[in-house]
Amino acid sequence: MSIRSAIETKLVEAFAPERLDVLNESHHHAGHQPGMTEDGETHMRVRIVSAKFSGLTRLSRHRAITDLLKSEFDAGLHALAIDAAAPGEPTRW
């Protein structure tokens, strides 16, 4: 299973999102460190809207996601941009 697919599966199971996009942005970072190529899965962006984020701070939302995805970081994920919102909160995406 790809890192992108694993991230998506875990987020769906843990947060039952109303909206979810998992974007591979690795091609923007090719060559930035040895071993980082255009076709890798080193840099991802998560855009998620979930009722489970209601009442949580931005930091708490980020920690919940990064804690969930520890094995993906161990498997080679280098960077994760997170846009997390609760239903009804404005998003820029």
Kindly report the CATH number assigned to the domain that includes residue 70: 3.30.300.90
Give residue 1's pLDDT: 79
Q: Give a yes or no: residue 73 inside a domain.
A: yes
Is residue 59 predicted with pLDDT exceeding 60?
yes
Task: Note whether residue 93 is domain-resident.
Answer: no
Residue 92 counted as domain residue: no
Q: Let me know if residue 91 belongs to a domain.
A: no
Domain of 78?
3-85
Question: Is residue 33 situated within a structural domain?
Answer: yes
Q: Answer yes or no: is 23 within a domain.
A: yes
DSSP letters along the chain, please? --HHHHHHHHHHHHH--SEEEEEE-GGGGTTSSTT--TTS--EEEEEEE-GGGTT--HHHHHHHHHHHTHHHHHTT--EEEEEEE-TTS----
Question: What's the domain count of the chain?
Answer: 1
**pTM reported for the whole predicted model:** 0.85
Query: Per residue in 4-55, pLDDT tens?
Result: 999 999 999 999 999 999 999 875 545 555 554 555 678 899 999 999 999 9
Is residue 18 a part of any domain in this protein? yes
Q: What is the pLDDT of residue 31?
A: 52
